[in-house]
Amino acid sequence: MTDKNEANKALIDKINEVEKENNKTFSNTQKILLTTDGSITAILDVLYGKITLTTIDQHFENADEAHAKLVNVPIGEQINFREVIMHKDDKPLIYAISHIPLSRCNDDICSDLIRADIPIGRILKTHDIESRREIRNIYIEEPDDKLKELFGTDEEMLARDYVIINCDEILMWIKEVFPISHFTEI
Amino acid sequence: MSAKCTAIKNELREMIARLEQEHNIKLSTTQKILLSINGPVTPILDVLYGEVRLFMLDQHFENADKDIADLLGIDEGEEILYRNSIVFKHSKPLIYVLSYIPKSRCSDRVINKLLEGKTTTGRIMNESGHETIRIINDISLMKATPILTELFKTTDDMLTREYSMIHKGEIVILTKDIYPLSYFKE
């Protein structure tokens, strides 16, 4: 018999920790959505049927200290900020924010980002961008006013953040958030 | 706040719907996720079932025949690593995994790690920091072969998913996951 496979050990431990610390039990679908290094959009689409992406905001701004740290660029460097919500019909499913340093995008990618209606996974696919994802944090957080309004609830939120790495540099930092009652029955 | 709304096109949803329709079957949520995730399934199984293990059935170099060479985009006769393993939990086989790896496209370090036979291909690629594009080529339902019947102790039809990991524009690993249709129903 072979040695133990510890391929995803850190993520399992992380999920177990968050469950234990908060005295919660996550559903299988929640666990998958929090730990997968694949496309969440594709999973939601397969589970729910056609889902829709709504861009809440998309703009460029100069990175402050916190944002610069997230994507490992100097303070003041221009980043693309995107805020989207994926939903099925009128039901919001997942809220996502992304920060993308402009210096790491070629013109074609920038053009797609500005169009604001293309999911990031699809942008990567369209432009044949080879990458890897590193999940940084998985946690429970209290919703701010914006999340309360978007989801129509003040319950706790499940969240994760991760980076997409291309050419050994962070191409994108992404945070995904959904209410803790979502994806418990599917 | 500007909002732009776009339906996301997903070929996988259509592939899964077609599979269900053609074979008059209803796939579970977990099966759909395992079929649609664009990467290794072992991390998903780890999260769902606790740490799963890998058992190497066979691993050897062979010269690619025409069919395999065409699949991988290499010359017929080129050396490939053929990997044949079972992911299991508590002595129960979960998924049979077949991989074809063109030797010329992997570093000696990766090949040596693969030959140790202790680690999944996904983890090896991840640990080595390889940036990839992962594409699902096909999902299907197949009849059980004698080997699969012996491994899983069932003559059930088998769900299969074939996907490629592409690095530097070339397929570095082609993997086929196979498991009985009766598995992952919960």
Per the CB < 8 Å rule, is A167 touching B51?
no
pLDDT number for residue A3: 39
pLDDT number for residue B170: 95
**B40 to chain A nearest CA, in Å?**
9
pLDDT number for residue A186: 61
| CATH architecture for the domain at A9-179 | 3-Layer(aba) Sandwich (3.40)
pLDDT number for residue A4: 41
CA A32, CA A12: separation in Å to the nearest integer?
Answer: 10
Contacts A11 to B, Cβ<8 Å: 43, 46-47
Q: Which of A133, A150, A145 is nearest to A94 (CA)?
A: A150
Q: Choose among B7, B48, B55: nearest Cβ to A2.
A: B55
- Nearest residue in chain A measured CA to CA from B13: A46
Domain boundary assignment for chain A: 9-179
Section B85-109 average pLDDT? 94
Which two structure tokens, joined as six digits, stand for A57?
A: 């905001």
Q: Which of A11, A13, A55, A57 is nearest to A34 (CA)?
A: A11
- Nearest residue in chain B measured CA to CA from A5: B53
Name the 3-class secondary structure at A100.
strand
* Low-confidence residues of chain A: pLDDT under 70: 1-9, 116-117, 186
Q: Choose among B12, B120, B132: nearest Cβ to A5.
A: B120
pLDDT digits (tens, 9 = 90+) for B100-135: 999 999 989 899 999 988 888 888 888 888 899 999
Section B2-27 average pLDDT? 79
CATH superfamily of B11-180: Chorismate lyase-like (3.40.1410.10)
Per the CB < 8 Å rule, is B130 touching A41?
no
Q: Choose among A1, A6, A38: nearest Cβ to B37.
A: A38
Per the CB < 8 Å rule, is B33 touching A6?
no
Per the CB < 8 Å rule, is A46 touching B53?
no
Q: Choose among A5, A38, A41: nearest Cβ to B42.
A: A5
pLDDT number for residue B5: 52
Band (pLDDT 50/70/90 cuts) for residue B55 is very high
Which two structure tokens, joined as six digits, stand for A181?
A: 């009652």
Residue B53 pLDDT > 60, yes or no? yes
Per the CB < 8 Å rule, is A57 touching B1?
yes
pLDDT digits (tens, 9 = 90+) for A85-113: 999 998 999 999 999 999 998 888 878 87
**B13 to chain A nearest CA, in Å?**
5
Per the CB < 8 Å rule, is A12 touching B47?
yes
Per the CB < 8 Å rule, is B10 touching A2?
no
Band (pLDDT 50/70/90 cuts) for residue B9 is low
CA A43 to each of CA A24, A37, B128: distance values in angstroms, whole numbers, following the listed order: 23, 11, 26
CA A96, CA A99: separation in Å to the nearest integer?
Answer: 10
CA A149, CA B44: separation in Å to the nearest integer?
Answer: 32
Q: Choose among B4, B36, B134: nearest Cβ to A46.
A: B36
